[in-house]
Structure 1
Amino acid sequence: MSITTPKKKLPRLILLGSLILPLLSACNSGPDTSEALSHLSRADTYAEQGQYRSAILEIKNAIQTEPENVNHIARLGELYLELGANKQAVELLEPWLKDYPQAVALPLARAYVEERKHLSAIETLALANPESSDEKLEASLIEAKAMRLSGDVDGAVTAYRDISANYSTSVDAITGLIESHIQQGNARTALGAANDWLASHETTPAVLYLKGLAQYQLDELEPATATLTNAVTGMPTSDMFLPLRGQLLSLLSRVLTEQGKITEAQVYGRILAEQTDSGAREQGEAVIAAIQAGNFDEAKTMLRDMRKLDPDNEQLALMLGTLSAGTGELEEGAELLSGNLDPETTPTRFIRASTMAQIDVGEREEALATLERAVKARPNDNDLLAMHGVLALSMPGQEAAGVTSLSKAISNEPDRTRLRIALARHYINNQQTEQALGQLRMAFTTQPADWASTAIYLSVLIDSGETREAEDVRDSLINGYGNEPQAVLLAAIADGRMGNSGPAITRLEKLTTDNPNMQPAHLALANLYASTDNSDKAVEQLLAAAVITPEVIGPLQQAGQLYASNHSVEEVQQWLGTVAETHPPLAPNASLLSALIHIQQGDVEQARTLLEPMANEDNPIGYRAYGQLLAAESVLSAQAEDYSTALAKAAEAIAIQPENVGFALLPARILITEGKNTEALEALQAAAETHDNHVAILMAQADLQMNQQQDQPATELYEQVVLAQPNNVVALNNLAWLLREKNNSRAIELASRASELAPEAPDILDTHGWVLHLGGNHAQAKPIIEKALALAPDNAEIQAHLKTINEAL
């Protein structure tokens, strides 16, 4: 129910505005002209008669006469609010707020709160300075409704009662109080408040509507019908379909239908239908039908056509954006959703779709900002709290806010174990084991059959040495859920990790026999067999797991790796051939693994024979393997000094796997081998742009420029690498070497870190000792260089450095 100014109040306000306008002329464009006053006078008359279209037209004419007069703007905004055109009021008033807050802040705050944007309403209300009694009443009503919208319904009830005590004739105060009682679920209290007010005040349709709603919720259908009929009869005549009339007709039609008075209900329903766009409704139903039938392209086409006719319709944009994002058109989806989304009012499902699309296109900060505003507006919406918490935990510097949101969501809904898991993972990543276990214990206590959270719980217990508690959890699974395969699986895995291999194997052998298609059980048993040096049985279990999902290469690849640990390459190839024969569904992946082995062995011709039939985008794994073949052929061609072929093969490999940084480095490495360092550097710069300055590419650039004695750009690149990877030993060492004379103290610090990370690397130790020597620390440098020489006794450069240091002592 909106905050409505009583019907007779608008003309009085407009007339009052006409009288005081000359006093406000210093704040705008000057006094009204006689032409503008004439328009305003006619607007007052039309509004009093319910001819709102004509009133709007007259005020717009006044604005056209005096376009800079903010009071005309505010007056039009008030009229929009009277008609329930809250969005139009917002769009009209917003541009004037900065320069004329005193004139527009109050009506704009009211427009915001009617749009359910309570945060914006309160923020805007802070700019107003209500002076008159009516303005103070309006401000109090806005604050009370904002309180109710924010979820503080008890506070709103108190506020509305205080307002009613001070303004006993205020319709908005009593309707706000009644609405708050209804929102609390106190329909009986709401009905009593309505009756008390009507007993001593003039009958008002807005109060009657809420009284009828309370009666309907109490299942008092006959009295509700009488009340709502009186309300409809009491509605003033107007040339526009007022929102309250629509609410009355809709509720009355529903009440009559539930009474079985279908004919009467249809009369009111027909009146209501005449005021709605039936064509748009039918189109919307067609879109929903297409989505339900899985015809997403058809649905998107219809939505795009509808938007051409109604480009400002936010709901259409949100639906199209959600559908586009969900069908892979991420950029369109993210743009439509974020561009038409209001964090304060947009339904949660659209906010979820928008933030997911923004994350997918790399706009994580924007997604977080949207969720922050949404959570602030709806602080008890658990879905929003969960989304904000999970995203914030993944972003540096936002972890505390993420913990706060997730903790609040968990407090609201303790049974949401997945939120506890998210919080536990955060604590685990930050080595806060006790806090993690606290969440996991609660999750297990609440829902022990949530196998995912129980699995993490057991894993953390075992990792942290809490074996007694892990044993208790294992026993409770066996005793309480002994017939549940997942429970038996978790108990067996826990036993295996705690060194109880015998019982674990026994349980898993029975589990796989009873549940032959339970892939996790086969994989767990394979791991246990492998850990107890029974590789043959482990391979058998991995093959059994592979057959369950033959299109997934992982289990077969694990089996091949395990088989290869104690067999020759030739034996592995023979084994793969046997697997293909005995398990036909595994034949494609067996051939693919065989091809990869051929690539590793340099037999690219045989690999090509196997991979060429798979080299298409419909077979993603085979296609990627073909990319590996092309990369290998590129390297072999470069070794044979066939550089043009090498570059062509590299380009083909990059086209197949454009995200592969190793492939991206191939052209530069080929050019370096060919001696074309300038072209190689250009290739590396292009690759860095494509791969967002990936550290591996920056390292390659820095190494090349250092070798070309381009010390300054090499230094800058190594600095970037060290910033991104503080423990990159090579970057630390090379940067220390470049700074050995320009900034010796920094060089010593870098070289010291490198030698701590790689204490047995002679080149690293040599750099450390030499920069110490250059800084005058000869005695400290000597043992370090001696150790480097002991590790590489034939290295002439280290020998020379040690000699120089000995001479300096």
Structure 2
Amino acid sequence: MKGWIQTLTVGLLALLLAGCGDSIDDLMERAQGLQAEGRYESAIADYRAVLQEDADHAEARFGLGEVGVLAGDYAGAEDALRRAARLGIASDRVQPLLATALLRQGKHEEVLRDINPDIAGNDSLRAELLAAHAEAHIQAENPAEAAPLVEQALALDERSLPALVAAARLAQTTNDATAANSYADRALEVEPNSSAALLVKAQVARGGGQLDDAIAAYSQLLELPPLGISRGEQFNAHGQYIETLLIAERIDDARSQAERMHRRAQRHPYPNFLVGLIALQDGDVDRANEHLQRTLSAAPDSIPGQRLMAAVRMEQEQYAQAITMLQRVISATPNDVQARIMLVAALRMNNEERQANRVLAEGIRAAGDDRQAMSLLSRAAGDDIEAVIADLNQMAQTNPSVQRASLGLAQTLVTEGATDPARAMLEQIESDDESEDFTRRQYLVIAALQGGDSDRAMSEARRLVEDYPDNSSAHNLLGGVHLNLQDLESARSAFEEARRLDQDSVQPLMNLGLVAAASGDRQQAIRYLREGLERQPDNVPAMLQLADLHRRGGENSEAERWLNEANRLAPNNLQAALAMARLQLSRGNPEAAMEAADRAVAAAPDNAVALGLQGVARLEAGQPDAALESLTAAQQIVPEEPDLLFQLARAQGMAGDNAAARNTLEGLVRDHPGRLDARSALARLQLQQGDPDAALQTARGLQGVEGGEAEGALLEGHAHSALDDVDSAITAYARAVELGRTEALGPLVANREEAGVERPADPLEQWIDRNPDNPQARFSLGNWYLEREQYEDAARHYGVLADLTDRENAVVLNNLAWLYQQLGDGRALETARAAYSLAPESAAVMDTLGWIYFQTGDVDNAVELLGRAAAAAPDNAEIQYHHGVALAEDSQTDAARDALNRALELEETAAWSDEARAILNTL
């Protein structure tokens, strides 16, 4: 046994030591093969084995640097590549890789110092090295230096991946989303798996509110190795992906990704922050607290971490701690509007109203020209806006620069319709700056106009023109006041003067377009707006006005073209998104309307109009639960808006909550008695709920409102009919017909029949005599007679109906042929053949023609056609019966028995069932 163990041990040692004899050439060949297969760790081991034998092996050192770049070890790659260069590896091989290693480490200064595009021996390499210099300048926040380098690189090689990526990043840095997307797309054409290009695509789409596109790009990016971006960039991209999923309300996907990111880096602050954020959204405050504690332990100065922890403290009603954290956040980032608003809320919950107002006033002062921030802060002030204004005025006494912030707040208040405090501010503000004073007086005119004080608006506008007779904007404003007062000639004159004073200004042209539109000259309005857009092609408001003119003219495709352009130029523009949503709704395209409304809500989450349109689009798309969510949110913002209330009631009803819908409609009718749509919807809902007495009262009330008499009479008829008051129903339906509601004719005839009136269809006959060319009415009456086996009357109307439809309607001809056959009219066969020529695959048409063939003795054609009809409609009992009868006549006994038994299985008590059984007894 001992000898066997010794033999085995010697064998194992031989195996283990077999590799030690590999030559340097063998190791290099194997390392390069492993590198090509993507087995970077194994390749690194072999390159290092070579370097242990020969520390100055230039190719091994270069290979180690190249694999280091591929594997993301940029510091190690930099060292290996610099040593490879010193060992004689050509610069044109080293420099592209070294540039990448330096850029991934953020060493932009060393790129500019050590990477030399002049060493390149061809255009492609020079373009790549110029792109590296451009990337370095972008990292150093010097886009002006990067731009000419990108231009040179692309001129040398328009398909250079590094140059296209640099161009995309440069455009992204300068907020040119369209160009960034275009360059990224070109880069992806060159290399579909370019991580850098995908990252640009994802970030641009996210910034533009195109969440689905962003999610798709991030998802593809995260499946790739971090080539073209650093591991840190890929890690952060994972976090951005999760944040985008949250914005898109894909909470479950975001939660799954956050847990995955956290498992890979359990101590890193970013995944802990994201897990904490999701936990807080889930209402799990304890878990949110746990992960945010880890975030702040690893990154105590993290502003997002402190802000979110403050939110946790507010949920825990620990307002003092929340206040302390938020004060630190605002101290570090004075323009963090959301943190400031949270701080205001915490102070108010802590009964520190005075301090809350000061925080808002200070935020307004810091907002400068940021109108969005100003708007959010003014809304947060709410009913305390006058106290905030008082604090601003106090600040202005020691700091004159605050006057500018006060003017900005006044402009914001005017824009948001808070006219009274805005006018008070504008009247108090004093400024030595002529431009600021001109702006103040402009907004004073607008505020007066909004407040309904047209006399004050006119006098202020005229004084502005007197003081600034050569100022185009002053005349423009005066024209606007005239236009608002419908004084179109004066408005046109003022706008023409504004245009004369400033030939290059587009605004007078736009305003002249508005005057033309108000005058009813739509084509002239379009010409003015188009001329303005030729001078200023990116004027989105003009595009919106032009789209509206085309829409009003029924030119929906042209309207959509301009709205698409407006949305392309301003993907976050609220009005452009709203206009597109309205247009798509009017065109019956709810899916496209939803897409536009979603963008509007993303741009303005608290905008009631955007939420309302989103709700209506969802409703029209058959998503009542989602619609109810949007419309409820909109109604909470503007609780008394009648249009929103009506749509909310629709959503409640479609979602199955009829009690809530009825309550909403009853309130709407009570507060807005003139709403015909609400009264009508309420009456119909009451009928649906089985409450005809209430529906009757609502219908009668509807008839007392101007324009509601016809609808009210129709609904009164429905209510009486539901109450089995046939005579009253007949009276109400007759009145509805007199008032033009043709849909009352059917129930009128039905109630007359139920009441036993002789010739109950006479009202419909009389109506058709007055309207002989109405095919729908004849079709309804023809069917009414047909159902009652009054074949002559049915055939009379179907005959006229066939002529009205140019004998091109297969259903009409088929029914007429059947009626002719019942009446023994010789025209039955030719009429049935005409129907068959129009619809040769219709089972009903084949059955009619086949049965007529049978009844006229043409059994062969009957069997063939009826067989095809039976195969096409295997569950139609009468067709199976006809087929069985024809087969029996043709002596096909077994097939006839099968068809007749099948017919009786489907319908045992049909009018022909006894005949079918009799035939079966003979087979």
The normalised TM-score by structure 1 is 0.52
After superposition, the Cα gap between the structure-2 partners of 1:390 and 1:698, relative to the gap in structure 1 and judged at 3 Å, is farther
**1 or 2 for the larger relative contact order (CA 8 Å, sep ≥6)?**
1
Unaligned runs of 5+ in 2: 1-102, 252-273, 281-287, 345-354, 371-401, 412-424, 440-470, 473-502, 779-798, 819-827
Relative to structure 2, which stretch is displaced further, 294-303 or 560-569?
560-569
Over aligned residues, Cα RMSD in angstroms? 7.1
The separation in 1 between residues aligned to 2:238 and 2:133, in whole angstroms, is 30
* Counterpart residue type for residue 406 of structure 1: L
Residue equivalent to 1:321: 547
- Equivalent residues in 2 for 1:599-748 (5 A)? 600=769, 666=804, 668-669=806-807, 684=808, 708=833, 714-718=839-843, 740-741=863-864, 744=867, 747=870
Following superposition, the deviation at residue 747 of structure 1 comes to 0.9
The answer (yes or no) to whether the contact 1:290–1:298 under 8 Å persists in 2 is yes
After superposition, the Cα gap between the structure-2 partners of 1:108 and 1:626, relative to the gap in structure 1 and judged at 3 Å, is same
* Counterpart residue type for residue 558 of structure 2: E
The separation in 2 between residues aligned to 1:731 and 1:375, in whole angstroms, is 58
Give 3-state SS (helix, strand or coil) of 1:328's partner: coil
Give 3-state SS (helix, strand or coil) of 2:209's partner: coil
* From 892, 896, 914, the counterpart of 1:775: 896
* From 615, 619, 622, the counterpart of 1:386: 615
- Equivalent residues in 2 for 1:278-289 (5 A)? 279-287=505-513
The answer (yes or no) to whether the contact 1:341–1:351 under 8 Å persists in 2 is yes
The separation in 1 between residues aligned to 2:297 and 2:853, in whole angstroms, is 76
After superposition, the Cα gap between the structure-2 partners of 1:711 and 1:662, relative to the gap in structure 1 and judged at 3 Å, is closer
Give 3-state SS (helix, strand or coil) of 1:106's partner: helix
CA deviations over 1:403-462 (Å, ceiling 9, x no partner)? 4443564477587553454346547xxxxxxx4534435536865737756765665555
Residue equivalent to 1:116: 209
**Pairing 1:254–2:352 present:** no
After superposition, the Cα gap between the structure-2 partners of 1:492 and 1:374, relative to the gap in structure 1 and judged at 3 Å, is closer
The separation in 2 between residues aligned to 1:318 and 1:803, in whole angstroms, is 75
Residue equivalent to 2:183: 92
Residue equivalent to 1:480: none
Residue equivalent to 1:406: 628
The separation in 1 between residues aligned to 2:410 and 2:683, in whole angstroms, is 58
- Equivalent residues in 2 for 1:177-576 (5 A)? 192-197=327-332, 218=357, 254=408, 260-264=429-433, 266=435, 279-287=505-513, 296-309=522-535, 316-337=542-563, 341=567, 345=571, 350-351=576-577, 353-354=579-580, 357-358=583-584, 382-393=611-622, 401-406=623-628, 409-410=631-632, 413=635, 417-419=645-647, 421-423=649-651, 426=654, 435=656, 437-443=658-664, 449=670, 456=681, 459-460=684-685, 462=687, 465=690, 474=694, 490=695, 492=697, 519=709, 538=731, 542=735
Residue equivalent to 1:396: none
**Pairing 1:750–2:841 present:** no
Following superposition, the deviation at residue 179 of structure 1 comes to 14
After superposition, the Cα gap between the structure-2 partners of 1:89 and 1:144, relative to the gap in structure 1 and judged at 3 Å, is same
* Counterpart residue type for residue 619 of structure 2: V
The separation in 2 between residues aligned to 1:76 and 1:101, in whole angstroms, is 14
Residue equivalent to 1:657: none
The answer (yes or no) to whether the contact 1:115–1:345 under 8 Å persists in 2 is yes
After superposition, the Cα gap between the structure-2 partners of 1:326 and 1:410, relative to the gap in structure 1 and judged at 3 Å, is same
CA deviations over 1:498-519 (Å, ceiling 9, x no partner)? xxxxxxxxxx6xx899989973
The separation in 2 between residues aligned to 1:353 and 1:314, in whole angstroms, is 12
CA deviations over 1:379-426 (Å, ceiling 9, x no partner)? 996324423332222xxxxxxx44444356447758755345434654
Following superposition, the deviation at residue 314 of structure 1 comes to 5.9
Residue equivalent to 1:69: 160
The separation in 2 between residues aligned to 1:230 and 1:787, in whole angstroms, is 82
After superposition, the Cα gap between the structure-2 partners of 1:376 and 1:802, relative to the gap in structure 1 and judged at 3 Å, is farther
The answer (yes or no) to whether the contact 2:829–2:853 under 8 Å persists in 1 is no
Residue equivalent to 1:589: none
Following superposition, the deviation at residue 120 of structure 1 comes to 3.0
The answer (yes or no) to whether the contact 2:574–2:604 under 8 Å persists in 1 is no
The answer (yes or no) to whether the contact 2:881–2:900 under 8 Å persists in 1 is no
Relative to structure 2, which stretch is displaced further, 697-706 or 251-260?
697-706
Residue equivalent to 1:503: none
The answer (yes or no) to whether the contact 2:544–2:576 under 8 Å persists in 1 is yes
Following superposition, the deviation at residue 627 of structure 1 comes to 6.2
Residue equivalent to 1:244: none
CA deviations over 1:535-591 (Å, ceiling 9, x no partner)? 999599949x97xxx8x686999999999999999xx9xxxxxxxxxxxxxxxxxxx
The separation in 2 between residues aligned to 1:338 and 1:386, in whole angstroms, is 22
Give 3-state SS (helix, strand or coil) of 2:220's partner: coil
Residue equivalent to 1:139: 237
Following superposition, the deviation at residue 192 of structure 1 comes to 1.9
* Counterpart residue type for residue 80 of structure 1: A
After superposition, the Cα gap between the structure-2 partners of 1:664 and 1:303, relative to the gap in structure 1 and judged at 3 Å, is farther
Following superposition, the deviation at residue 162 of structure 1 comes to 8.2
The separation in 2 between residues aligned to 1:513 and 1:230, in whole angstroms, is 54
Residue equivalent to 2:40: none
**Pairing 1:104–2:197 present:** yes
* Counterpart residue type for residue 429 of structure 2: G
After superposition, the Cα gap between the structure-2 partners of 1:62 and 1:165, relative to the gap in structure 1 and judged at 3 Å, is farther
* Counterpart residue type for residue 57 of structure 1: P
Following superposition, the deviation at residue 254 of structure 1 comes to 1.8
Q: How many residues align?
A: 592
After superposition, the Cα gap between the structure-2 partners of 1:190 and 1:124, relative to the gap in structure 1 and judged at 3 Å, is farther
* Counterpart residue type for residue 422 of structure 1: R
Following superposition, the deviation at residue 114 of structure 1 comes to 2.8
* Counterpart residue type for residue 328 of structure 1: G
The answer (yes or no) to whether the contact 1:40–1:62 under 8 Å persists in 2 is no
After superposition, the Cα gap between the structure-2 partners of 1:141 and 1:22, relative to the gap in structure 1 and judged at 3 Å, is farther
* From 135, 146, 153, the counterpart of 1:55: 146
The answer (yes or no) to whether the contact 2:131–2:149 under 8 Å persists in 1 is yes
After superposition, the Cα gap between the structure-2 partners of 1:526 and 1:360, relative to the gap in structure 1 and judged at 3 Å, is closer
* Counterpart residue type for residue 664 of structure 2: A
The separation in 2 between residues aligned to 1:89 and 1:749, in whole angstroms, is 57
Relative to structure 2, which stretch is displaced further, 734-743 or 92-101?
734-743
Following superposition, the deviation at residue 102 of structure 1 comes to 0.9
CA deviations over 1:105-152 (Å, ceiling 9, x no partner)? 223322223323344333322233566465257537745864785589
The normalised TM-score by structure 2 is 0.46
After superposition, the Cα gap between the structure-2 partners of 1:211 and 1:538, relative to the gap in structure 1 and judged at 3 Å, is closer
The separation in 1 between residues aligned to 2:109 and 2:829, in whole angstroms, is 81
The separation in 2 between residues aligned to 1:425 and 1:351, in whole angstroms, is 28
After superposition, the Cα gap between the structure-2 partners of 1:214 and 1:768, relative to the gap in structure 1 and judged at 3 Å, is same
* From 65, 77, 80, the counterpart of 2:171: 80
Identical aligned residues as a percent: 12
The separation in 2 between residues aligned to 1:541 and 1:712, in whole angstroms, is 41
Bigger-Rg structure (1/2): 2
Following superposition, the deviation at residue 67 of structure 1 comes to 1.6
The separation in 1 between residues aligned to 2:205 and 2:913, in whole angstroms, is 77
Following superposition, the deviation at residue 46 of structure 1 comes to 10
* Counterpart residue type for residue 168 of structure 2: G
The answer (yes or no) to whether the contact 2:202–2:218 under 8 Å persists in 1 is yes
